[in-house]
Amino acid sequence: MDLDELRNSWKSLGTDSDALEPVNRRIASELAKGRAVNAQQKLARNYSRSGLAGIVVVLLAPVLVMILKLPAIYACIYGVFGVIMGLLNYRFSLQISKADYITLPVVEAMKSILSLRRDWIRLHIAGYTMGVIVLLTLLYGLLDLGSDAVAGFYVGLAASIPLVYFKERQNLRLIRSMQQEIRSCIEPDKA
Amino acid sequence: MRQTGDKEQQFLGILDRYKDVVSKVCWLYAGQGATFDDLYQETCINIWQGMESFRGEARMSTWIYRTAINTCISWHRRNRRYSDTSSIDSLEFEPVSEDKAPAMTEEHRELHRLISMLGPVDKALITLWLDEKSYEEIALIVGMSQANVAVKLHRIKERLSKLADSGR
């Protein structure tokens, strides 16, 4: 198949209007009723919910004192962690909902998504850093509670490390491939 | 309420006018984890969302192409089906089978197979070339200089020719 044949093949590709019309009507009706949302809105909602999860962390902080009988300072550290993560996630959800990566020119849209992805990584790094500090502090407190609590802590930690590692490695690979793609559009001679 | 009804009619008018563009772009990006239906629906939602912000600065067709292409690229990125666009072997061709997608002959399947081997932006460029858009319009839609569009398209065409030859 040469390029002319390719183009002719493309031109002969026909749309089945009869099949698409009811689909269009259904989508229009759902959208008019506010029932359909796009992926960007779903993602923004997810981060908004993660922001709410920060409140749950704050509400759970007193449990450390009341049930586990840890000193109040642990509850404070845990609560502050919840507030900061909640606010960061909520801020990120606003950033996603305001971003326009659909109607911009393709390369600009990719840059916009790349910038969001970088902020996303920063959010994760902030979360992991604070999470590790909170966990180590909690571990220090749990040492007094006996070996079962400490063992449970280590099991949780061991299970989450590989998950975090693979997830973040995937994210970084994706960012690198996007950077490469953008570079190849701006400087095709160097790509 | 009436405003919503007007918007609905306007939206249906846009879809009716540009159904070929939207469905063909979605068809080309379908496969590799995304179905035609998924992409078509998502593109329609994005057209609806963007209608209010469309101020006529760009041509309507330019805006529709951008919306459809960005939606499809974004969908694939989210599903992480292409992390290495340089490796042809890493891409698997999944035929489009939805009944609402454009009807396919053997030639169309071959067209889809060849273009599926390209990276997301290259796929967008060749789609616009296939639709006989000028370099100026392609540059506006993709956001590249006309010179870069020419360089990239030249390479894509060379690559497609080689791929087509190797498939014979």
pLDDT in tens, B27-67: 888 875 568 888 999 999 999 988 888 877 778 999 999 99
Q: Is the ipTM of this complex over 0.90?
A: no
Residue B80: pLDDT above 80?
no
What does the pLDDT look like over A102-113, one tens digit per residue? 888 999 998 988
Confidence of residue A183 (pLDDT cuts 50, 70, 90): confident
Tell me the shortest Cα–Cα distance from B108 to chain A, in angstroms: 6
* Cβ within 8 Å, pair A177-B85: yes
Q: Which of B12, B63, B142 sits opposite A28 (nearest CB)?
A: B12
Q: Which of A103, A174, A185 sits opposite B77 (nearest CB)?
A: A174
Q: B28: domain range?
A: 2-167
Confidence of residue B81 (pLDDT cuts 50, 70, 90): very low
Q: Which of B49, B104, B151 sits opposite A189 (nearest CB)?
A: B151
Structure tokens at A14: 């026909």
- Say what the pLDDT of residue B89 is: 33
CA distance A189 to A94: 38
In sequence order, what are the beta bridge partners of A97?
A: none
* Cβ within 8 Å, pair A6-B124: no
Residue B34 backbone phi and psi in degrees, to 5:
-115, 140
CA distance A70 to A62: 10
- Residues of B with CB below 8 A from A5's CB? 107
Residue A182: pLDDT above 90?
no
Tell me the shortest Cα–Cα distance from A116 to chain B, in angstroms: 13
- Residues of B with CB below 8 A from A23's CB? 40-41, 100
Using CB atoms within 10 Å of the CB of residue B148, give its burial: 0 to 12 exposed, 13 to 18 middle, 19+ buried: buried
To test the contact with chain A by mutation, choose from B26, B43, B49 the residue with the greatest count of A C-beta atoms within 10 A, namely B49
CA distance A151 to A18: 63
* Cβ within 8 Å, pair B74-A1: no
A146 torsion bin: left (phi>0), alpha (psi -120 to 50), beta (else): left
In sequence order, what are the beta bridge partners of B31?
A: B34
Structure tokens at B135: 């370099």
Confidence of residue B78 (pLDDT cuts 50, 70, 90): confident
CATH of the domain at B77: 1.10.1740.10
What angle, 0 to 180 degrees and rounded to 10, lies between the N-to-C axes of helices B120-130 and B2-29? Answer: 100
* Cβ within 8 Å, pair B41-A27: yes
Number of folded domains in chain B?
Answer: 1
What does the pLDDT look like over A66-90, one tens digit per residue? 887 888 998 999 899 999 999 999 9
* Cβ within 8 Å, pair A113-B77: yes
Confidence of residue B87 (pLDDT cuts 50, 70, 90): very low
